[in-house]
Homo-oligomer: A and B are copies of this chain.
Amino acid sequence: MSSSKKIGRREALKIFGAGGVGLSGVVGGLVGVEGMAAADDVAGRPGTRGDTLPGRRPAQAVTLKRVAADPTKVPPPINGAAPRTRSFTLVGREAIAEIESGATFKYMTWNNQVPGPMLRVRQGDTVRLTVKSAEENKSAHNVDFHAVYGPGGGAADTLVGPGQQKTIQFRAEYPGAFIYHCAVPNIDEHISSGMFGMILVEPPEGLTPVDHEFYLGQNEVYTDQPRGTSGHHAFDIPSMIRETPSYVLLNGEDFALTPSNRGAIQVKRGETARIFFVNGGPNLLSSFHPIGNVWTKAWPAGALANPPLRYVQTLPVPPGSTGVFEMDFPVPEPIKLVDHAISRWIRQGMLGIIQVSGEEQPDIYKAIS
């Protein structure tokens, strides 16, 4: 790894541009001269064909500038409206993007984001779901919804090759926040690469009002190089079998929801928030914790039919499951959202920040000396 250097995101974007600089969709190490040159430029050395060190892999041209789902993009509450039919479209798209500054990865996304878009219905609604696959994709895809009574959770009837589409219809029979994810034979690789999201089925009475709702997703990414290595990261199945990922991420990018990347989430002191959290896995349980705060209410497994737990510091959220949380913000502070398997924050990139602004509350917290 001695030849690898990190560059700033801004510098990287300038070099790669939005549409790429000659490379596209080439995965796994066989890249052309332009790629070499680009990577050498990234690393700040002259790009000549001969001086690439063994094991060095150039980054690839990004075909997607942002993977991280916007955590504030949450569909509006339904709040007990009468059941009806709701239609959604998920578009599978394989795309090269930066997983951290200067390092590229071939993501598999729903609607160009990780996690895929949050869908919201109520118990008793009929859901019409169309699954499409982008023309330029290489793999087949489908969708398994944990909210579905039906073969493969819908996967059996949504298998689409590049350019195809299929539609299923189901009735949401039970409430809760459920994961959806790709479920082709390489299901673990597809989820690890980003193909998961959440469908919320509100109970008939709806949810209690809060000031904010946020949408977050965790997954771990298995690549052939450690985090912090510039260049292109190819997917690595042996690492996945050993459950030793290079990255553990919140919303699909290294430190995605922090000022150094896509920015922190903003709230004001005294407000309340609900967090919809989905753990794609494919393999690791998340010990989800808000540093400097507590889950005022927590619904394990996103199972909203049950009374919430009160004042939970860390909730285990298995892979292929969710958690729903409510938070209070009594003091101004940056709240760090982490998997408290804490190396995954420090060494593998799992971090999101909720920035609480407002006046200090010395009765609750203050530095003395």
Contacts and interface: CB of A to CB of B under 8 A. Distances in A.
Interface of A: 128, 144, 146, 148-157, 166-171, 173-176, 178-179, 183, 185-188, 191, 226, 237, 240-244, 281-285, 287, 289, 291-294, 296, 300-306, 309-316, 318-322, 330-331, 333-334, 336, 340-348, 362-369
A260 to B, nearest CB: 14
Given A310-B305, A322-B313, A169 B368 contact: yes
Given A173-B330, A319-B341, 9 more contacts: A144-B291, A150-B333, A166-B369, A168-B365, A283-B342, A283-B343, A283-B344, A300-B309, A314-B319
Contacts of A282: 341-343
A91 to B, nearest CB: 16
Nearest to A151: B333
Contacts of A311: 174-176, 303-305
Given A314-B318, A341-B319, A292 B191 contact: no
Contact of A340 (B291, B303, B319): B319
Most buried by B among A237, A284, A292, A347: A292
B174 A294 contact: yes
B343 A291 contact: no
A241 B368 contact: no
